[in-house]
Amino acid sequence: MKNIWQEREKALENQYIFKQEREKIEQARKEMKEKLIRELCKDRCPKCGEEIEAMIFRGVPLDKCPACGGVWLGPNDLRILASKDHRSWFDKWFRSENEPPESSA
């Protein structure tokens, strides 16, 4: 009788270890896939896949796609451009039509 319980205990242990290893393998595959995608897409346009070019616009670094014309800014670059181009095309882009212009008081 003791032998049956030991076999069951060993089987459950093996099942647990198998499940843990399978989860680790799946996680490793997922991480490898994400890393590969990042490497293949680095410096590529997310819209058309062409290689993007780094450029400087009014002192702000940005990336531009020569194929489709897309432009990508860093997290603070939009704020920097907005402060440099106060009350110009930036206001036209981001102000709603019903919103009154800011007063310069």
Q: Per residue in 10-57, pLDDT tens?
A: 999 999 999 999 999 999 999 999 898 888 888 888 888 888 898 887
What are the sequence ranges of the domains in the chain?
1-42, 53-94
For residue 83, the model assigns a pLDDT of: 75
For residue 105, the model assigns a pLDDT of: 43
Cβ(81)–Cβ(58) below 8 Å: yes
Say yes or no to pLDDT of 84 above 80. Answer: no
Residues 6+ apart with CB under 8 A from 102: 87
Q: How confident is the model at residue 98 (pLDDT cuts 50, 70, 90)?
A: low
CA–CA gap between residue 55 and residue 72 (Å, rounded): 10
**Average pLDDT of the chain?**
80
Residues 6+ apart with CB under 8 A from 85: 58
